[in-house]
Copies of this chain bind each other. A is one copy, B any other.
Amino acid sequence: MNTEKILLAHGSGGKLTHRLIREVFLKEFGNELLEELGDSAIFPVAEGKLAYTTDSYVVDPIFFPGGDIGRLSVCGTVNDLAMSGAKPLYLSASFIIEEGFGLTELKTIVSSMKKAAEEAGIKVVCGDTKVVPKGGVDKIFITTSGIGLIPSGTEISPRRIMVGDEIIINGTIGDHEIAILSQREGLEFSSKIQSDVAPLNHLVASMLEVAGNEIHALRDPTRGGLATTLNEFVHNAEFGIKIYEDKIPITDGVRGVCELLGLDPLYVANEGKLVAVVSQNSRQKVFPCLKKNTLGLNARVIGEVIPEPKGMVLLVTRIGGTRIVDMLTGEQLPRIC
């Protein structure tokens, strides 16, 4: 077991920084753009539309069932690009590391990022490392940004949502946050709950291929969960959304932990889920391609876009009542992503 630790000098810009870059980052991410080690990565682009996004990842614990902070930091940004209809191309990765953090753990995280980047088909082309004295940061934070190419003619936007559209989710809700929570709280009975963290770009590409612009809007229900994503869609809009509790896929494990802890699964975060708003007649096109992908096996139509009440999300409960689903208010669990 290598017990080498990250030192302040690893972030100094000097010899140890260059060694860390060569022996950890270039070793895993190595590609012709990153290897230039210039102030910027430089690449040609064709005329077109680009998507650009960023997220910081501060998840605690950094290793959790189904993933780690490295996998999360790649998939999260890849998914934000995919939700714009973009094909992910290039990723930046910036590390803030606590002095004394294990070099072995860092290598494991970087290796996990490499694997996720390969799954998604994205290249890590630029990065940065800062080391902060002990106590200045809790273990490791990673910020990624990504650039993707939006295929000509693709236009995915909440503005395209129309009354009558159907709401599809590609699988069970709540798995990521409940996996983090179970690990953090040592809930042993729920040890089988795994984070759903996964890159969704190939799934989105296949949906776009069969249904094209009949896919009106896409969004990944991360922080704030499904409820918040649907509320973002209806915000200031000339329509509402109605969903059906009994159609929303959820595992018994996640439901159990939510009941035990008094959490509403509609507000619990996902990292491998997408909500698609599609035109009324495109279900037949989209579903076969969802079901062909392991990430879409449990896909369901969970509701539809309604003319009234405007700007609201309604939930038809299991027993047939209807209630308003508001955006998340107040606190949620910190450091879930």
Q: How far is the CA of A95 from the CA of B57 in the complex (A)?
A: 10
Asked if A113 is at the interface (CB within 8 A of a chain B CB), the reply is: no
Q: Nearest chain-B residue to A141 (Cβ)?
A: B96
CB of A9 within 8 Å of the partner chain: yes
Count chain A residues whose beta carbon lies closer than 8 angstroms to a beta carbon of B.
Answer: 88
CB neighbours of A42 from chain B (8 A): 49-52, 84, 86, 150
Residues of chain B lying within 8 A (CB to CB) of residue A8: 331-332, 334
Question: Which positions in A face B, CB cutoff 8 Å?
Answer: 7-9, 11-18, 36-58, 60, 79-81, 83-84, 86, 90, 92-96, 99, 125-128, 130-133, 135-138, 141, 143, 145-148, 150, 157-158, 218-220, 222-224, 228, 232, 267, 269, 327-332, 334-335, 337
New contact pairs (11) apart from A39-B79, A130-B337, CB-CB < 8 Å? A8-B331, A8-B332, A8-B334, A12-B328, A13-B222, A14-B267, A14-B329, A41-B52, A52-B92, A52-B125, A54-B127
Pairs A–B under 8 Å by Cβ, sample size 24:
A11-B334, A12-B224, A12-B328, A12-B331, A13-B223, A13-B332, A17-B223, A39-B80, A39-B220, A40-B52, A42-B51, A44-B47, A55-B94, A56-B128, A56-B143, A58-B130, A58-B137, A94-B143, A128-B143, A130-B335, A132-B138, A135-B138, A136-B138, A145-B145
